[in-house]
A and B are shown apart, each in its own frame.
Chain A
Amino acid sequence: GQNIDQPTEMTATEGAIVQINCTYQTSGFNGLFWYQQHAGEAPTFLSYNVLDGLEEKGRFSSFLSRSKGYSYLLLKELQMKDSASYLCAALDSNYQLIWGAGTKLIIKP
């Protein structure tokens, strides 16, 4: 079956760095997405990786290892507004997104 695993909840301190991990098992693979979702709001796109390696976008970076079925989202210089859920989603062989349950990130001052 197809499966996405990510931690349910993480806590970090304002100004620090946090890494949110995601492992995936899909029938075929066409890339890995990260979305941010604030409570009560819609998900918004953060990143897309299809090749191995690190993609940096401001304070946020995303890494992919296709051979390990693994990705992480790295958030630097954490701000209170980064408190949100972070959703990992893998694109399968039918180009449909398989979503993880999300990681709720709590930022403490």
Chain B
Amino acid sequence: IAGITQAPTSQILAAGRRMTLRCTQDMRHNAMYWYRQDLGLGLRLIHYSNTAGTTGKGEVPDGYSVSRANTDDFPLTLASAVPSQTSVYFCASSASGGNNEQFFGPGTRLTVL
């Protein structure tokens, strides 16, 4: 049982390039989330999806887009990367939104130069 996986593990990217971070879960969870984690700051929600076919904006959505074509996959796309998007990105899922425990993927460490 894999749980929730992310790819790539790490990436160095030139500014202006397009990048998609992949996230897949096999727990049949309805809700999925993308966070970024920066030193000294709490996890910040970028985008979320309460169920397949729907997405919503979190606290810091600018410069990012997501899609939720099916239950398992929730890719995050940076259309034109900027250095301020250097961060560790975590994908998470939960049985449904709200007060259910969130399960996190291992993270993607992204550096934009």
Interface residues of A (CB under 8 A from B): 4, 30-31, 33, 41-45, 48, 50, 87, 89, 91, 95-102
Q: Residues of B contacting A50 with CB < 8 Å?
A: 99
Between-chain CB contacts (< 8 Å), 25 pairs: A30-B98, A30-B99, A33-B101, A41-B107, A42-B90, A42-B105, A42-B107, A43-B43, A43-B104, A45-B101, A48-B101, A50-B99, A87-B42, A87-B43, A89-B42, A91-B98, A91-B99, A95-B98, A95-B99, A97-B43, A97-B45, A98-B42, A99-B44, A101-B40, A102-B42
B61 at the interface (CB under 8 A from A): no
Q: Determine whether B1 belongs to the interface, using a CB cutoff of 8 Å to chain A.
A: no
- Given A42-B90, A101-B42, does the pair A95, B102 have CB atoms closer than 8 Å? no
> Which of chain B's residues have a CB closer than 8 A to the CB of A99?
42-44
Mark B70-108 against chain A: 1 for CB-CB distance below 8 A, else 0: 000000000000000000001000000111011111110
A96 with B99: CB separation less than 8 A? no
Interface residues of B (CB under 8 A from A): 40-45, 48, 58, 90, 97-99, 101-107
Whether A96 touches B104, Cβ cut-off 8 Å, given contacts A30-B98, A30-B99, A91-B98, is: no
Q: What residues of chain B lie closer than 8 Å to A89, measured between beta carbons?
A: 42-43
Q: Is the interface of B mostly helix, strand, loop or mixed?
A: loop
Q: Are B99 and A48 in contact (CB under 8 A)?
A: yes
Closest 8 CB pairs of A and B: A99-B42, A42-B104, A95-B98, A99-B43, A45-B101, A101-B42, A31-B99, A100-B42
Inter-chain CA distance A95–B96, complex, in Å, is: 11
Asked if B43 contacts A41 (CB within 8 A), the reply is no
Interfacial chain B residues near A42, Cβ < 8 Å: 90, 104-107
Q: For the complex, give the distance between the alpha carbons of A102 and B97 in Å.
A: 22
Distance from B45 Cβ to chain A, minimum over Cβ atoms (Å): 6
In the assembled complex, the CB of A33 is this many whole angstroms from the nearest CB of chain B, namely: 8
Contact A97 B102 (CB under 8 A): yes
